Structure 1
Amino acid sequence: MLSMTQDIEDMESLVRRRLRALRVAQGWSLEELAGRANLSQSSLSRIENGRRRLALDQLVTLARALDTTLDQLVETATDDVVTSPTIDGAHGRMRWPVKSDPGMSVIRQRVTEPPPDNPSRMRAHPGREWLVVLSGTAILMLGHRRFRLETNQAAEFPTMMPHAIGAEGGPCEILGIFDRDARRGHQSEAVGDDGVPGAPG
């Protein structure tokens, strides 16, 4: 029984810290958040500092005001925090699943070839993709436009637009993040027309 009581107290303490952290991150005072949540400033202050019990209806209202959900407010860390990648040595790729959304995945890849000159070799499929250049210079072809991405620059684009990714001036290393639809599109296009696996994109 003592352990359960301690668990509840730990959870409440975590929720209080999250409420305050989210409020501060938004740049809101106690008064501003209280107004958005239809609470008095003194009630919100007591909730944050532990002098008032947490009520479910108030937590739901506060979560909505802070643009989050009750589930996210009370979520606790699991034991499987660290994830090891699946390594595809043949294609020079590492892939990590995103635990909070099994449909998403993260892929790290070394790209050595320039993007294709022929627009017909660009891919298009449902979804959305995020790309971060870890080292070198990458070229993102998006429709008829050409974007040059240096180290630490990122791009976000809808994958329904024909696109391709290549390297400029030597190899580059990229990190691609794919939503469920984009991941499915890449799985079905794992090998390009020339038989060479394409880079994320």
Structure 2
Amino acid sequence: MKQEPDLDAVIRQRIRGLRLSKGWSLDTLAERCFLSPSTLSRIETGHRRIALDQLVPIARALDTSIDQLVESAEGDDDVVIRPEPQHAAGRTTWLLTREPTANGTTVAKMRLTPQPDDATRGLGVHPGHEWFTVLSGTARLRLGERTILVETGDAASFSTMVPHAISAHGGPLEILTIFDRDGERAHLHAGKAATAPGEHEA
């Protein structure tokens, strides 16, 4: 199996990393993939080329696929996300994920400023669950009939089937929030038109 030197090194790192993440010794992996510990050691350290007939049982033993082991690392350097701010009246949003994660969640940072009618605006309802933590300031979480103040360093988690809204209390507010699929649609798509200026319908 012919491999580029850089890819060859990545494969070795992946094999070793997966083995260690399972808490396995060389002997344990060797037993599971029917290779000798010395052969595996030479593969991991680069003293032996990796042959396809060795890679197949190694991938199977590590509960992965050959495709995942040999997947190009070309995009691995592109790991920094530089979010562009999205502005609305009283609110700025930075998306911190390029797209929803495997479980359908989107991470965002929001900066809210107090608005005159924060306490009287309508509450939003949608399927799902939401979590946020306050980076700075104080959040006013209106949850059904309750109003809860969430201070810097605290977090809140709640069902979004309860009527709710988040606004800034007493000054600018910055939060880090995680939306599920329904929340992402409600806040970042339909919410752009439906959310009153300055308030985040969580």
TM-score by length of 1: 0.65
Write the distance in 2 (CA, Å) between the matches of 1:107 and 1:14. Answer: 32
Write the distance in 1 (CA, Å) between the matches of 2:198 and 2:70. Answer: 41
| 2:191 is the counterpart of 1:189 | yes
For the structure 1 residues 182 and 60, does the alpha-carbon distance in structure 2 shift closer, same or farther, using more than 3 Å as the test?
Answer: farther
Written as runs of structure 1 = structure 2, the 5 A alignment for 1:155-170 is: 155-170=156-171
Written as runs of structure 1 = structure 2, the 5 A alignment for 1:50-199 is: 55-63=55-63, 71=68, 76=73, 78=75, 79-91=77-89, 92-96=91-95, 98-99=97-98, 101=100, 104-113=105-114, 117=119, 121-186=122-187, 187-192=189-194, 195-199=196-200
How far apart are residue 143 of structure 1 and its match? 3.5
Amino acid in the other structure paired with 2:191: E
Amino acid in the other structure paired with 2:85: I
Q: Count residues with an aligned counterpart.
A: 189
Q: Secondary structure at the match of 1:190?
A: helix
Written as runs of structure 1 = structure 2, the 5 A alignment for 1:3-82 is: 4-20=3-19, 22-23=21-22, 28=23, 30=25, 46=41, 55-63=55-63, 71=68, 76=73, 78=75, 79-82=77-80
Structure 1 vs Structure 2 CA RMSD: 4.3
Q: Secondary structure at the match of 1:164?
A: strand
Q: Secondary structure at the match of 2:166?
A: strand
Write the distance in 2 (CA, Å) between the matches of 1:57 and 1:145. Answer: 58
How far apart are residue 124 of structure 1 and its match? 1.2
Write the distance in 1 (CA, Å) between the matches of 2:151 and 2:70. Answer: 37
For the structure 1 residues 138 and 38, does the alpha-carbon distance in structure 2 shift closer, same or farther, using more than 3 Å as the test?
Answer: farther
Q: Secondary structure at the match of 2:109?
A: strand
Larger Rg: 2
TM-score by length of 2: 0.64
Which consecutive unaligned segments of at least 5 residues does structure 2 have? Answer: none
Q: Secondary structure at the match of 1:185?
A: helix
Write the distance in 2 (CA, Å) between the matches of 1:154 and 1:107. Answer: 14
Write the distance in 2 (CA, Å) between the matches of 1:160 and 1:72. Answer: 42
CA contact (8 A) 1:15 1:73 kept: no
CA contact (8 A) 1:95 1:105 kept: no
Report the identity percentage: 33
How far apart are residue 140 of structure 1 and its match? 2.6
Q: Secondary structure at the match of 1:84?
A: coil
CA contact (8 A) 1:130 1:157 kept: yes
CA contact (8 A) 1:116 1:164 kept: no
Q: Secondary structure at the match of 2:18?
A: helix
How far apart are residue 173 of structure 1 and its match? 0.9
Write the distance in 1 (CA, Å) between the matches of 2:161 and 2:181. Answer: 13
Which consecutive unaligned segments of at least 5 residues does structure 1 have? Answer: 65-69
For the structure 1 residues 170 and 75, does the alpha-carbon distance in structure 2 shift closer, same or farther, using more than 3 Å as the test?
Answer: farther
CA contact (8 A) 2:96 2:109 kept: no
